[in-house]
Amino acid sequence: MLLVSLKHIAAKPMKMFRNQPGLKLVLPLAFLFVLTACIKDKYKPKNFMKPDWEQGFGVPVATFNVTLKNLITEDSTLIFNPDSSIKIAFAQDSLAEQSVSDIIDIPAQAPTSQDLKLGVIDIDNFTTNRVIALSELVGNLSGPTAAAINAASGLTAPFPAMPEQAGGTYPMPALTEFSIVTFATGSLDFNLVNNYPTPLDSLVFELKNTGGASLGFARFGNVAIGATQLRSIPLAGKAMDNDIEITIVKILSSGNPIPSLISLASQLSIAVTGNNLTVIGGVVRIPSQDFAADTTDVDFATTDNEELYTIDLKDGRINFNFQSSISEPIRITVSMPGISKNNIPIRDSIDVASNATTSWVIDLTNSTIDLTTNTAQPYNQIQVIVQAKLISSGTLKPIDSSNAINVSYGFQNIDFSYIEGYFGQKNIVIDPGKLELDLAFLRELGGDFLFANPDVKLKISNSIGAPIRLGLNMRGISVANGNVDLNATPSLLPFPTIPNTSANGIVSFNNTNSQIAQLVSLPPDTITYGGNVLLNPAGNVGSNFLTDNSKIRIDMEMELPLELSAGNLRFADTSDFDGAGTFGESDGSGLQIVGAKLVLQNTNRFPFDINLDLTWLDSTGTQVYSTTVPFVQAAPVDANGRVNLATRNTATVDLNAAAIQNLKNAKRMALTFRMNTGNGGTTVAKLYTDYSLAIRILIEAKVKGLL
Amino acid sequence: MKRIYSLFFALLLAGPALAQFNLGLHQFTGVPQSTFTNPAIMPQAKFFIGLPVVNSFYVNYYNPSFVMDDIIREVGDSSMLDFSKLYEDRAGKTFSFNVEQQSDLFHLGFRMGRKNFLSFGAYQVLQTSYRLPVDLLRLVQNGSLDPYFRENPVSLNDIDINVKAYVAYHIGYAREINSKLSVGGRFKYLSGIAGGQVEYAQGGINWQTDSLVVTNNFRYNASNLNTLGGGGNLDIGGLAFSTGNNGMAFDFGLAYKVTKRLMITASVTDMGSIRWANDLTSIVSDSSSYTYSGGTINVGENDNGDPFSGVIDSLSNAFKFDRVEPGKEFTTQLNSRYLVSASYEFLKGNQVGVMFSGNRYNEEFYPAFTAFYQSKIWNLLFLRANYTVSPGSFDNLGGALAVKLGPVQLYTVADNLLALGNQGNVSTFNVRLGLNILFGMRGYKDKSPASEDVESFDDN
């Protein structure tokens, strides 16, 4: 209540106070008037001038952190290692790939043809007998002689002498072995048994084709009573019919003085037997017989004088063709002791009908060819033995020794799974190509640098069982800096000693055996490559082998640790710069900086001596001011070549009034870091992503117009 | 005794003091406003009216840290601010100054019988006090490159900005208990117009060339800040009745007449507080610790920005203040004032006396010691001279004058008249002036302890 009352009491004056604002100022204004009147001029605000202070402010403006990690971008080529080291890694698969077809090619083999001639044919020996009774002989003797004998016939009396005279012709039984034949060899043996009662002083038979030509004479002499004598008539070259006769062209006997029974039935027995008869023609009953085996060392053709020892075939066949002009069937047996299938030498029989043509195929799938069976040439030779056998029909067949069976055969569709031999010295060209290696960032670095430990590794995977020497040509091409060749020493590549295995190995190109450092340090715009691989560079020092899957593959891995000596490398960066905001408007309005000092506190963890160029640009890109920050020394490195301490220094750039006036128009600030490794760019430095350069820019400025 | 002597001087030489109220008003009973220093001491007028607005206007300036000549340098015919003497003399310390203004809106008092006096009224107060680091002035004038700052960061811990504007509606009552003792009290209802105080301020500025480290934990709570800041049209009348910012305060006093001529008094005034709850705003900066080392450009990563533009931005961030609305209710204590005095009327209408006074503010006590002489002539003219020693200020010669022309009394009271002549060395100055309508001063036989002697001189 009391408060309410007080408010009411005060309400009226308060209202007046509110409604008459002039009134409420009466006393204060009066007071101020009096006070102002009393204030000395020195303290009157109107006499105060603007302070002439020039404040100095030190302002940390910015810290530029330059880390190597930010300067370069990791990609598939530029690799940041777990230990922060950096490498340029580049891999190109199949830099070169040489397959079997590049090493050896099995050409189609020309067919081999041979004739198996029938030649001289054995015929079975035959025997025929003929007896000439005394009475039959007497009938062909001269009259006196016949009379004498007849006279004594039946008597035991001395046998009358028979003067020399012919004794008549006697047909022989017909032969069944042939109808007509021309002998190549052999003879007819006449086995004479004298059962006449008188010795025969001389007896000459002439063998003749009946009514035809003489085949020869058989001459006996002094054939005692009961004695046997053998005489032969050679038949070589003689044609004989199966109808022959013998003629006693001479008979002479002194008679038998010893009386003995003279019987006209007594006989002269003649047995005719063929002996070792072979024929060259005729119509003959040819007995079954084997031909002489034909053994041929067939050349296995190669394309480049390779000397092949063994071939395992995945596929292949031998096509045979038999053409027979023999009137009897022939059984051909083909043997190839150098070709085995399931470890069993190939041997096959083919029946060829008489006077017919027959084809035959021997499948060589999964067979092995031994090409060394010929000791005189223990390579590229396949022994083929063809054995023919005549199969007799038991009938007379016209034959001729010139009759033959032609055997032709050839390897076809040879597809090997393994081949062994000496493949010769072959120079195989590596297809030229271009490495897609992007080293743009190196080019952007500018300056000169040389990689200290470049390493180009060729990863070799070789399943070709042969010594191979690689001659890799590589050329770095730089439009600006020319060309540098790798000049790598040819390298022997690893090769397997066991089929179906691969020999893997690494061939490295480094500073000791190539100019790889110079090549990649160009840096090249383009890297081309080519070259060759040389098979058996030392000649035939051992057998080579291939499988159908053999190949040599060369992948390339290039590793360039960023370990280099460098001179005048450049990193540049540009940032916005508000010159007017920093140093004041160029027209002098607002806060003005009348003098300034740029203080650059540098902490260098690069193993580079560094100079910094600071350039300010106006909105048109025109330089308005530039300066170079003094030398920043390279950071020291430890025994492993890694920076272990930072070097620090402070550089000062005084900006005078003219410079500041120019900088007021600056819109951009460009920083260019020029880097050299120690000792004028000759010391090798290894780079790590955590290398850094911190440039702390401080401004100490004298300001005018702050108050 | 020696201990008391030492304590006395220690208090005088203590740190910065806040504004003292009109010390020249104490026991200057010819002016009714003297009851503000001790409600037990009745004014000589039987009835008085302080007319609205014009009855009392009081302004006080107190700066224990420096004087004008410390910060002003003459350059020819002109003057220029130069803080160098101040920041050299008070390096690492704070400077403070206080400004207080009070206007009585209405004041009325009258005796009730012989032994009672009742008064009531309303007045408006604006009190501001500031405490800021001197090193800030060095930073402003010299910048951070001053070598001083290499070793000495600027402390922001002791910053204090206290503003109170309020209207006090008061009712006072004094009673003569017996012929020697009088007691009095005053109740004040306080309606806050606007106010603000620092809740906490902790931090510092360590500005080196290569780094700027700002620790800035600061909270300032304010009420009606929006109103005060609304175009500068301060409607104090309207705000005087604004609801929400309420408070109360009490004055207590006693006067004891030891002998007919010797009187001692004691009083405590403005014991109270205002709870600010209306239109609250908090200004907060909780940046904790902000280190600016410049922009960072990671070359090849974020190099598109302008690192140099980051300077201002970063400084702005370092001193970023958030305006939080609604803010936080807060309470401000009034500047309690204590006063004890002893006076001796050695001649009718002429007194000499001493008094020891002090302000209590924020748990600190700011003392002053005053000796005075006052005289009256026929109840028409009241004169007073006093000399005050306060911390950092030893040349405060004050005076008071009240002239009664009929019922109208004009008066003025000032504690440092020398300031008018030596403005460059003034650390404190206050003046009160006003106009009262008085009745019942002539022929009135005052039996109160405070006036009995006067009357006794009249009797003599």
What one-character-per-residue DSSP string does B33-80 give?
Answer: GGGGT-TTS--S-SEEEE-TTTS-EEEEEE-SS--HHHHEEEETTEEE
Q: Are A6 and B171 in contact (CB under 8 A)?
A: yes
Instruction: Write down the pLDDT at residue B313.
Output: 62
How many A-B residue pairs are in contact by the CB < 8 A criterion?
210
What pLDDT score does A122 carry? Answer: 85
pLDDT for A273 equals 92
Q: Tokens 């001279």 map to which residue? A: B385
The confidence score (pLDDT) of residue B237 equals: 56
Task: State residue A34's pLDDT score.
Answer: 58
Q: Looking at the complex, does the CB of residue B418 fall below 8 Å from at least one CB of chain A?
A: no
Strand ranges for A510-586 from DSSP E: 526-535, 544-547, 551-561, 563-567, 569-576
Amino acid at A107: P
Per-residue pLDDT, A339: 93
Cα–Cα distance, A550 to A502 (Å, whole number): 8
* Per-residue confidence (pLDDT) for residue A29, from 0 to 100: 55
* Cross-chain Cβ contact B300/A573 below 8 Å: yes
Q: Which residues of B touch A70 (CB under 8 A)?
A: 298-301
Amino acid at A343: N
Identify whether the C-beta of residue A252 lies closer than 8 Å to the C-beta of residue A162. yes
Candidate from A39, A55, A59 with C-beta closest to B423: A39
CA-to-CA distance for A152 and A409, rounded, in angstroms?
A: 77
Minimal Cβ distance to B299: which of A28, A66, A703? A66
Residue B442 has pLDDT above 80, yes or no: no
Pair type for strands B428-439 and B408-414: antiparallel
For residue B173, pLDDT over 90 is answered with yes
pLDDT at site A30: 56
Choose the closest CB to B209 out of A27, A573, A599. Answer: A599
- CB nearest to A65's CB, from B79, B106, B298: B298
Q: Please, are residues A195 and A226 in contact by the beta-carbon 8 Å criterion?
A: yes
Interface contact flag, B306 A28, Cβ < 8 Å: no
- Distances from the Cα of A540 to the Cαs of A98, A307, B337, B359, in angstroms? 21, 10, 123, 120
> Mean pLDDT, chain B, as a whole number?
80
Burial class (CB in 10 A: 0-12, 13-18, 19+), A22: exposed
What does the buried/exposed string (b/e) look like for A81-114 if buried means 16 or more CB atoms within 10 Å of the residue's CB? Answer: eeeebbbbebebeebbebebebbbebeebeebeb
> What pLDDT digit, counting tens, does each position of B227-266 carry?
655 444 555 555 556 568 899 999 999 999 999 899 999 9
Instruction: Give the H/E segment covering residue B437.
Output: strand B428-439
| B437 has pLDDT over 60 | yes
Q: Which of A16, A576, A707 sits opposite B52 (nearest CB)?
A: A16
Structure-block tokens of residue A574: 């540009």
Distance (Å) from the C-alpha of residue B6 to the closest C-alpha of chain A?
A: 38
Count of residues for chain A?
A: 707
- Name the pTM for this structure: 0.57
For residues A673 and A624, the answer to whether their CB atoms sit within 8 Å is no
Question: Is A658 in the B-facing interface, judged by CB distances under 8 Å?
Answer: no
Query: What does the pLDDT read at residue B447?
Result: 42
pLDDT tens track for A517-539: 888 888 888 889 999 989 999 99
Three-class secondary structure of residue A134 per DSSP: helix
Q: What is the pLDDT of residues B89-144, one digit of tens each?
A: 888 888 888 888 888 888 999 998 888 999 999 988 888 888 889 998 998 888 88
- The span from the CA of A355 to the CA of A694, in Å, is 104
Residues (pLDDT < 70) of chain A are 1-38, 586-592, 705-707
Residue A78 pLDDT: 86
Query: If DSSP codes are grouped into helix, strand and coil, which group holds residue B140?
Result: helix
**What would the mean pLDDT of B57-66 be, rounded to a whole number?**
84
pLDDT (0 to 100) of residue B236: 54
Q: Please state whether the peptide bond connecting residue A144 to the residue before it is cis, i.e. omega within 30 degrees of 0.
A: no
Question: What pLDDT score does A381 carry?
Answer: 92
Q: What is the DSSP string of A444-510?
A: HH-SEEEESS-EEEEEEEE--BS-EEEEEEEEEEETTTEEEE--PPPEEEP--SSTT--EEEEEEE-
- Expressed in angstroms, the distance from the first to the final Cα of chain A is 55
Please judge whether B189 and A671 are an interchain contact, meaning their C-beta atoms are less than 8 angstroms apart.
no
A695 touches chain B (CB under 8 A): no
Residues 6+ apart with CB under 8 A from B73: B79, B80, B81, B82
Q: How far apart are CA B7 and CA B9, in angstroms?
A: 5
Residue pLDDT, tens place only, B310-351: 555 666 666 678 888 888 899 998 888 899 999 999 888 889
Closest to A225 measured CA to CA, from A261, A193, A259, A191 = A193
Weakest-pLDDT range from A24-38, A566-580, B184-198, B393-407: A24-38
To the nearest whole angstrom, how far is the Cα of B342 from the nearest Cα of chain A? 32
* Chain A interface, best mutation among B79, B81, B125, B432, by max A CB count within 10 A: B79
The three-state DSSP-derived secondary structure of B338-368 is EEEEEEEEEECCEEEEEEEEEEEECCEEEEE
Nearest to B23 by CA among B362, B431, B420: B431
Answer for the pair B352, B373: CB distance below 8 angstroms, yes or no: yes
Query: How far A692 CA sits from the closest chain B CA (Å)?
Result: 10
**Measured distance CA(B367)–CA(B16) in Å, rounded:** 10
Which pLDDT belongs to residue B455? 41
A16-39 per-position pLDDT tens digit: 444 444 444 455 555 555 555 667
pLDDT at B185 over 50: yes
